[in-house]
Amino acid sequence: MCSSDLVRRHFVHPLWRGADSRVRRHNHAMPESAVDRPAPAPAAKPLSGPARALQRMGLDQPMALALHLPLRYEDETRLVTVAEARPGQTVLLQLQVRRSQVEQRGRRQLVLRTADESGDEVVLRFLHFYPSQVKAWAEGTWLRARGELRQGFFGREMVHPQVRAAEPDDPLPTALTPVYPAGAQLPQAYLRKAVAGGLARADLAEVLPPGTVPRGLPSLREALQFLHHPPPGTAMATLEDHSHPAWQRLKFEELLAQQLSQQQARAEREVLRAPVLTVREGALRDGLLAALPWGLTGAQRRVAEEIAADLARPSPMHRLLQGDVGAGKTVVAALAACVAMDAGWQCALMAPTEILAEQHFQKLVQWLSPLGIQVAWLSGSRKGKVRREQLAAIAEGRARLVVGTHAVIQDDVHFQRLGLAIVDEQHRFGVAQRLALRHKLRGQTEAGEPLEPHLLMMSATPIPRTLAMTYYADLEVSTIDELPPGRSPIVTRVFAESRRDEVVARIRDEVAKGRQVYWVCPLVEASEAEDMAGRSMAELANVTETHAQLAATLEGIGVGLLHGRLAPADKAAVMARFAGGELAVLVATTVIEVGVDVPNASLMVIEHAERFGLAQLHQLRGRVGRGAVESVCVLLFTQPLSETGKSRLRAMAETTDGFEIARRDLELRGPGEFMGARQSGDALLRFADLAEDAPLLAAARQAAPRLLGAHPEAAARHVRRWLGAGAEFLKA
Ligand code: ADP
Ligand code: MG
């Protein structure tokens, strides 16, 4: 049995049986018990393309499938006759094939001459087709075709309708047909069956006691049944804007799960003990402040105080420090590290990329080694004797500050006394890494008592503070809402690709003034055939070619090349030469997106800017405008520009405020984009929208403590259902 048969056996929903009678007959031949037996472990046989695609999208459990909601719906509940249908309308017709031919009309195409039951004719044309379809749609076959009816040159026709074999008396679906977010290699029909099966098998029993859910909302089971198969005549607008009570129920469920797990985590954390780290006057912290060439901004001073107050408490800090790119989070982190070190404890700082970790390392060495602090550096690329020495220094407590990538949380790293852990760009770390960090850092002891280190997380992806406070029930939030003085705002220019030469001339001018330039090469759009590896190869080809071109054109100017495929040591070397000014131009992929800090860089060129998301463009632009020199960001775009693409570039030209960018980004993101966002770890919530669903969030926040107090069992079941193993991630 091939695995698609397996999937059919397990996922046939009553709705689809009429349309797929062959499957029914197939099932009939099997003993009933075989149908309920669990599928063999996936390792037992290779998965089919669609099954693998499902797995890749995380859709391998009934609940995950049941929560995979449609993007939109198609109405296949009504058949019309050809005579009734008006040209230009999208209709569903019941047709019999009279003649089937592959013809050469300009392009090779499959032409089916068909007629409905009263004999009115319609031509169906297919420009893409498989031999199997030619065979299946033979003369005499009855089909249901859905598409736009047109008055063509040869009579009425449909070009590329959706077609499936169906006898005239086969029942019609009784609900609208869902269209799901699907990746390449995942046909809708397959996904529909999988989701319908998941919906039938998922445990959707009510777990919440009466009075928990806001009045007027349906049960979870009703809500999901409805959203997957709304009855004909449902007001589409309420489904599309997610205001329908069925949507509200889902959002409430999700928000409640978040609130429960976070409030629970907070309660658990509050009984833990952490080292009390108090500021010591005249020690490291004051030394660093005195040595800085500039004073802190008011916002930096305020958040540094908030952090210091947390560190002085005997329970572990769990604080998010957010601030726009360039707001100056690093020095705030360094001050916190000083407090910990002054109190005789070690501090670890972890960053998501080697480039970023290396920059932090250099900056912290520059700031702290004059004050007598030994800073250790751990990365994946540092191995052997050097690594062993670093590990020894960490274990013996000689290295008081440890900077690195996730190498910091590897098994063989043992701290002598870790008091504070700082995670930069925390949302970039995967769930597993955040969890590992949490487990790793646990279990310091003081006089036999377990102590938990304090945790400071940093992020440049801001969400409005009040919202953040409500949402992150288990997190204190500090926000740097002010940029250091003397920054000239970045001017953003949007240019068509045809003006590339002007941009190159501009590079010469900047370099002549002693300034430096980034040139960021585009993301390569993945075609259906390409996987991530193919895509990164294409990106590599692209960046290498642009580098060669620019190096040839900009004769006498040092042009460097930086991309993800370089060995870590080579990356570091290129970065160092750029930071040191030896290279004036750096051609790079998005590896420079996060945190790279070269204040002398004043021009940022982003090629194919239309391919980047708004948040990413903002991050990239934040690499310039970091010093006093006036900076320019040039967004080069190539036609055709989609409406969303246009809106993104306009937003970039109109504002440099990260909060505003975040707001517009949410606005521009369609529901279809959540998959991508979820994969990159950026999405906070899947169904609810923090800005729009504030009332539901408030209701969930209120319901959570009551539930935890009076119905802990129900609370636990709800969290398990919604977050599964992911629940821990929220506490990390
Ligand atoms: P981010 O918040 O994006 O991590 P950084 O910490 O990298 O920002 O700071 C950006 C730049 O601003 C750095 O070059 C840093 O040294 C500088 N900087 C930080 N605080 C101040 C300040 N108060 N005055 C002037 N420059 C500052
Ligand atoms: Mg930073």
Q: Categorize the per-residue pLDDT at 31 as very low, low, confident or very high, splitting at 50, 70 and 90.
A: very low
Question: Out of 7-16, 138-147, 407-416, which region has the weakest mean confidence (pLDDT)?
Answer: 7-16
Residue 530 predicted with pLDDT over 50: no
Q: Which residue has the higher pLDDT, 276 or 76?
A: 276
DSSP labels, 116-138: -TT--EEEEEESS--HHHHHHT-
Residue 261 predicted with pLDDT over 80: yes
Residue 43 predicted with pLDDT over 60: no
Q: What is the pLDDT of residues 173-226, one digit of tens each?
A: 888 989 998 876 788 889 999 999 999 999 999 999 999 999 999 999 999 999
pLDDT of residue 730: 44
Pocket of ligand 1 from Cβ distances under 6 Å? 294, 296-297, 300, 323, 325-331, 460, 484, 595, 597, 599, 626
Q: Residue 656 CB: number of other CB atoms within 10 A?
A: 22
Query: SS3 for 690?
Result: coil
Instruction: In whole angstroms, give the CA distance from residue 333 to residue 424.
Output: 9
Instruction: Reduce the secondary structure of 49-86 to three states and give it as a string.
Output: HHHHHHHHCCCCCHHHHHCCCCCEEECCCCCECCCCCC
Instruction: In whole angstroms, give the CA distance from residue 513 to residue 215.
Output: 66
Tokens of 425: 């760009």
Residue range 374-385: mean pLDDT, rounded? 85
Residue 390 predicted with pLDDT over 60: yes
Q: Categorize the per-residue pLDDT at 264 as very low, low, confident or very high, splitting at 50, 70 and 90.
A: confident
Question: Out of 20-29, 64-73, 430-439, 609-618, which region has the weakest mean confidence (pLDDT)?
Answer: 20-29
Q: What is the pLDDT of residues 650-693, one digit of tens each?
A: 999 999 888 788 777 766 654 333 333 333 333 457 788 776 78
The percent of residues above 90 in pLDDT, for the chain, comes to: 46
What is the overall mean pLDDT for the chain?
Answer: 82
Q: Which residue has the higher pLDDT, 484 or 19?
A: 484
Residue range 347-368: mean pLDDT, rounded? 89
Residue 444 predicted with pLDDT over 60: no
Residue nearest to atom 23 of ligand 1 (CA): 296
In the reported structure, the alpha carbon of residue 626 is separated from the centroid of ligand 1 by a whole-number distance in angstroms of 7
Query: Taking the model in full, what pTM does it have?
Result: 0.67
- Angle (CA) 126 130 134, round 5°: 75
pLDDT of residue 406: 83
Could you tell me which of 595, 354, 306, 324 has the C-alpha nearest to residue 454? 306
Helix H or strand E encompassing 559:
strand 559-562
Distances in Å between the Cα of 560 and the Cα atoms of 411, 554, 578 are 36, 12, 7
DSSP tag of 195? H
Residue 13 predicted with pLDDT over 50: no
Could you tell me which of 334, 365, 323, 363 has the C-alpha nearest to residue 622? 323
Contact indicator for 214, 55 with CB cutoff of 8 Å = no
In the reported structure, the alpha carbon of residue 508 is separated from the centroid of ligand 2 by a whole-number distance in angstroms of 29
Instruction: In whole angstroms, give the CA distance from residue 255 to residue 517.
Output: 44
pLDDT of residue 241: 85
Query: SS3 for 496?
Result: strand
Residue 372 predicted with pLDDT over 90: yes
Question: Out of 20-24, 328-332, 511-515, 723-727, which region has the weakest mean confidence (pLDDT)?
Answer: 20-24
In the reported structure, the alpha carbon of residue 479 is separated from the centroid of ligand 2 by a whole-number distance in angstroms of 14
Residue 591 predicted with pLDDT over 80: no
Helix residue spans in 220-353 (DSSP H): 220-228, 236-240, 245-270, 284-291, 298-311, 329-342
Our mutation pick for probing the ligand 1 site, out of 294, 426, 593, 596, counting the most ligand atoms within 8 A of Cβ, is 294
Residue 66 predicted with pLDDT over 80: yes
Residue 305 predicted with pLDDT over 70: yes
Between strands 346-350 and 401-404, the pairing is: parallel
Residue range 392-418: mean pLDDT, rounded? 90
Residue nearest to atom 18 of ligand 1 (CA): 328
- Angle (CA) 663 666 668, round 5°: 110
For the chain, state the CA radius of gyration: 30
Residue range 431-457: mean pLDDT, rounded? 70
pLDDT of residue 102: 93
Q: Which residue has the higher pLDDT, 557 or 729?
A: 557
Instruction: In whole angstroms, give the CA distance from residue 722 to residue 724.
Output: 6
pLDDT of residue 37: 37
Q: Which residue has the higher pLDDT, 79 or 522?
A: 79
Instruction: In whole angstroms, give the CA distance from residue 680 to residue 673.
Output: 11
Could you tell me which of 324, 357, 330 has the C-alpha nearest to residue 625? 324
Is cis: bond before 640, omega within 30 of 0? yes
pLDDT of residue 665: 74
Our mutation pick for probing the ligand 1 site, out of 301, 626, 629, 631, counting the most ligand atoms within 8 A of Cβ, is 626
Query: SS3 for 645?
Result: helix
Residue range 241-250: mean pLDDT, rounded? 93
Residue nearest to atom 19 of ligand 1 (CA): 328
pLDDT of residue 465: 59
